[in-house]
Amino acid sequence: MTPALSTQGISVHFGAFRAVDNVNLNVRPGARHALIGPNGAGKTALVHALTGSLSPTAGTIQVFGEEVSSRAEKDRVRRGLARTFQINQLFRGLSVLDNVVLAIMERDRKTAAFWRSVANDKRAHEAAREHLAFVNLTQHADREVRHLPYGSQRLLEIAIALATRPRILVLDEPAAGVPSGESHAIFERIHALPQDLTLLFIEHDMGLVFRFSDRISVLVAGQILIEGAPSEISSDERVKEIYLGRRAGHAA
Amino acid sequence: MTGASAAARSRLFGGRVGIEGATLVLFAGAIASYFLFPNHLALLTQFLVLMMFALSYDLLQGHGGIVSLGHAAFFGLGAYAAAILARTGYNDPLLGLAFAAVLSAVVALVLTPIIVRGNDFTRLLVTLGVASLVYEAANRMRGLTGGADGLPDFEIAPVLGLYKFDFEGRIAFIYAFMVFAMVYVFLWRVVTSPFGLALRGIRENTRRMPAIGSPVRRHLAVAYTLSGGIAGMAGAVLAQTSRFASLDMLGFERSAEIMMVATLGGSGHMAGVSFAALAFGWLKDVLSTASPKYWQLGLGIVLMLSVFVARGGIGGLLDHLRFRRSA
Ligand SMILES: Nc1ncnc2c1ncn2[C@@H]1O[C@H](COP(=O)(O)OP(=O)(O)OP(=O)(O)O)[C@@H](O)[C@H]1O
Ligand SMILES: [Mg+2]
């Protein structure tokens, strides 16, 4: 079967430093694929390279078999590859609803129109409200994003990506910075996403990773150390060492 | 609480309340001024021109978050275009207006690729540089522009072939007001359109835009083209109503002024920016009459104070007034 997302030899170098080093990744359609690894392993850099917000030093990328390596970020989005950001990238001065309406209108290529009224586009507003309802933000629709609680901002981050109607959604630590009680609420929403939407997500909480993933890739120092089913990963000695070592270090 | 309905309304207008009321006051005031100050119509006409120019720049800075220190290049281009066309005998004002708009818009579009790239700082430098080049070119092309002497002595035909420009400046004012109203309505449409929303998206988070599939460069090109075209129209109206075009119309001072006015007005607030242009124009007139030597100093002090006193600009103050009344 053609992978939803596939890379060959992706590398991202910053000068002599190899943030991502020769990564081959295959994400099966409909997967719940987790990308894990210690801080600074290159996970976010890899996501940047996948989505085109950064051009990799080397390597190629396909979305459902189509070569997208030379395509701009916006064109990859239009081919169904969407992402969220580890650090919120929201339109802070706009209302919550407008954040999603904007994404919908860009997807529908309506934003060239300077002679129409946004307010008159009932369909875009209805669709936006559906996305907000999905992430439980309906009651905040008219609030300016900058006044939104942080946890809600993380959910809006997802709603905006969903509004582009992706086939593959890359989630870069969707619950980053959220207290663990709330991070479950966020992953519960991710769990409720349609099964045919392919997910690649980064997450540090191993409990969440093992609960929600059906495939795991471990990135260490820019390289894939191992890839496999959750059971294989949890029993791998090297992963235990790196991961438990890191966590022990954190606890100290 | 009025919050919900106010927020629902404000969504349309860049997240701010009270702009409709302020707009009504603005238009009522402009019409009333015609009757109240019949001896100052030339000055009032200049205010209208300044407001148009400020609104054109506000589309870039206020809505798109794109700064420029060379916007007067388009203003001056429009002024010269209208003046030169009139001198060749095609002196219908609306024809001149359209010619100026199209020419400035096309030049803006052509310049987009070099202006759009980079960050705020590089944009300031590049726009400053381009505007100086335009200024120097106009200075050199004496045959076409009259160089430092400017372009005097041209006639403008009656508006619509009916309304002759009179000595009291009545027709000039009405003509300028009509163009201003058109520009205002047009820009209102633009900023409340899907394109306007995308522009605010660029202002709020340029980085997220490509991640939702947005063609950011195209949006900026369209914004520049519209903004340049309207700046050109403002310049044309000034040249036509004063029957003069000169180098200072594309000078640095005018570019800097308009940036101050847009900032003072509360970026992205059309009524606020218009009032700021009015206040600025009036203050400049009063101060330069009171002290021909030191007026710029006075203006500078007032501008600096106003930034501290009115954060969010005049638009912010207007919203605040409105909000308190309705609460
Ligand atoms: N623009 C850049 N220039 C230089 N080095 C960079 C740049 N961006 C990232 N790096 C470095 O690349 C490495 C990988 O960073 P990256 O953000 O991808 O890590 P990560 O796996 O996402 O970590 P975390 O779990 O903390 O989010 C880090 O050492 C980082 O300092
Ligand atoms: Mg990261």
Q: What is the mean pLDDT of residues A168-181?
A: 91
**Residue among A98, A111, A117, A140 with most chain B CBs within 10 A, to mutate:** A111
pLDDT above 90 (res B312): no
Considering its fold, how many domains does chain A have in total? 1
Question: Most distant CA pair in chain B: distance in Å?
Answer: 65
Q: Which helix (H) or strand (E) holds A217?
A: strand A215-220
| pLDDT tens profile B117-173 | 777 788 888 888 888 888 888 788 777 777 777 778 777 768 787 777 777 778 889
Q: Residue A252: what pLDDT? A: 33
Q: How confident is the model at residue B269 (pLDDT cuts 50, 70, 90)?
A: confident
Mean pLDDT across B13-28: 68
Q: What is the pLDDT of residue B309?
A: 61
Q: Which residues surround ligand 2, an ion (CB under 5 A)?
A: A 43-44, 86
Q: Is the pLDDT of residue A65 over 50?
A: yes
A42 CA: nearest ligand 1 atom: 18
pLDDT at A82: 96
For the cut 60, the answer to whether the pLDDT of residue B84 exceeds it is yes
Chain B interface, mutation test: which of A83, A114, A162, most B Cβ atoms within 10 Å?
A114
What is the ipTM, given to two decimal places?
A: 0.91
In this complex, the residue of B197, B216, B226 whose CB is nearest that of residue A105 is B197
List chain B residues with CB under 8 Å of A153: none
Structural domain including B254 reads 3-326
Under the banding of pLDDT at 50, 70 and 90, the label for residue B310 is: low
Torsion, CA B169, CA B170, CA B172, CA B174, rounded to 10:
160
Q: Which of A66-75, B91-100, B243-252 has the lowest average pLDDT? A: B243-252
225-254 in B: which are within 8 Å (CB) of A? 226
The atom number, within ligand 1, closest to the CA of A173 reads 27
Strand partners, A8: A60
Instruction: Characterise A118 by phi-psi region: left (phi > 0), alpha (psi -120 to 50), beta (else).
Output: alpha
Predicted confidence band at B12 (pLDDT cuts at 50, 70, 90)? very low
d(CA A130, CA B145): 59
- Per-residue HEC secondary structure of B26-48 comes to HHHHHHHHHHHCHHHHHHHHHHH
Nearest to B211 among A83, A97, A115 (CB): A83
Residue A9's CB is within 10 A of a number of other CB atoms, namely 13
**Residue A14: its H or E element:** strand A5-14
Which of B327 and B63 is assigned the larger pLDDT? B63
Prediction pTM value: 0.89
Please report, for residues A25, A77, B275, the alpha-carbon distance to residue A6 in angstroms, rounded to integers and kept in the order given.
5, 16, 56
Closest approach of chain A CAs to the CA of B67, in angstroms?
A: 18
- The CA distance from A183 to the nearest CA of chain B, in Å, is 23
- Read off the DSSP letter of residue A20: E
Which residues lie closer than 8 Å to B158 by C-beta, 6 or more apart? B164, B165, B171
Question: What are B58-70's pLDDT values in tens digits?
Answer: 999 889 888 888 8
- CATH number of the structural domain spanning residue B153: 1.10.3470
Residues B100 and B77 sit within 8 Å (Cβ to Cβ) = yes
- Cα(A43) to ligand 2 centroid in Å equals 5
Q: Would you tell me how many other CB atoms lie within 10 Å of the CB of residue B218?
A: 15
Instruction: Give the residues across from A96 on adjacent strands.
Output: none
CATH of the domain at A111: 3.40.50.300
Predicted pLDDT at B308:
67
> For residues B167 and B151, what is the distance between their CA atoms, to the nearest angstrom?
19
Q: Which residues of A touch B195 (CB under 8 A)?
A: 111-114
Token pair in block for residue A37: 């690894």
Alpha-carbon distance of A99 to A159, in angstroms, equals: 9
CB contact set of B15 (below 8 Å; sequence gap of 6+): A93, A94, A95, A144
Domain boundaries, position A191: 5-251
CB B255 within 8 A of CB B68: yes
Alpha-carbon gap: A98 to the closest alpha carbon of chain B (Å):
8
Sheet holding A168-172, edge to edge: A81-83, A168-172, A198-202, A32-36, A215-220, A223-228
| pLDDT greater at residue B246 or residue B198 | B198
Which string of b and e fits B95-131 if b means at least 16 CB within 10 Å?
ebbbbbbebbbebbbebbeebbeeeeeebbebbbebb
Q: How many CB atoms lie within 10 A of CB B253?
A: 10
Distance CA B300, CA A16 (A): 50
- Number of domain units in chain B: 1
- pLDDT tens string B187-200: 999 999 999 999 99
For testing the chain A interface, which of B191, B197, B217, B219 should be mutated: the one with the most A CBs within 10 Å?
Answer: B197
| A42 CA to centre of own chain | 14
Q: Which tokens hold the place of B234?
A: 């403002």
- Which pLDDT score is estimated for B39? 84
Band of the pLDDT at A49, cuts 50, 70, 90? very high
Name the band, by pLDDT with cuts 50, 70 and 90, for residue A6: very high
Looking at chain A, the whole-number percentage of residues with pLDDT higher than 90 is 81
Residues with CB under 6 A from ligand 1: A 14, 19, 37, 39-45, 86
Q: Is B211 on the interface with A (CB under 8 A)?
A: yes
